[in-house]
Amino acid sequence: MNILILHGPNLNLLGERDPEIYGKTTLDEINAELQKKADSLSVPVRIFQSNHEGSLIDHIHRERKWGDALIINPGAFTHYSYALRDAIEAFSKPTIEVHLSDIMKREEFRKHSVLDGLKNVRRITGRGAEGYYEALRSLTIK
């Protein structure tokens, strides 16, 4: 199983951005750990981060044949990008939406995810970096 891992806007600032909410682990550290865990599971992963909605969508389109599953933290696009929702619906393979913070316990605007209701999407929220590793594990359980 090939797994696409996508990080949306502002996640490149992890470690320095609101560490009391998002933790002190940097994106490079999360990606290194994901790569290490994927290697130990013999699962090929392709990891990508962008601050741009269109780049994330282009990436899903470009990799849609290679990827058998998707792990995505859409950042703030979670709350308003119907274009990203459409891309994930069209991808149609198992997808896990990961949020470091518990979006249900924060500001009102964060409580709504545009991915709600998509049949191919499950959500892991509020587990910090561990949420990404759990997503990887759950996709690779036979």
Token representation of residue 49 = 């981060």
> Is 75 one of the binding residues for ligand DQA (CB under 6 A)?
yes
User: Does residue 99 have an active-site annotation?
Assistant: yes
**Catalytic residue check, 79:** no
Residues 90, 114 contacting (CB under 8 angstroms): no
- In the complex, what is the shortest distance from the CB of residue 134 to ligand DQA, in angstroms, rounded to a whole number? 14
Q: Residues 84-105, buried b or exposed e (16+ Cβ, 10 A)?
A: bbebbbebeebbbbbbbbebee
Instruction: Please identify which residue in 37, 46, 93, 110 interacts with ligand DQA, judged by CB under 6 A.
Output: 110
23 binds ligand DQA (CB under 6 A): no
Distance CA 22, CA 56 (A): 21
Q: Which is nearer to ligand DQA, 67 or 75 (CB)?
A: 75
Catalytic site residue from 7, 52, 82, 99: 99
How many Å apart are CA 134 and CA 61, to the nearest integer?
A: 25
State the nearest-atom distance from the C-beta of 96 to ligand DQA, in Å: 13
DSSP class of residue 96? E
- Active-site amino acid positions: 22, 99
Point out which residues bind ligand DQA (CB under 6 A).
10, 73, 75-76, 78, 99-101, 103, 110
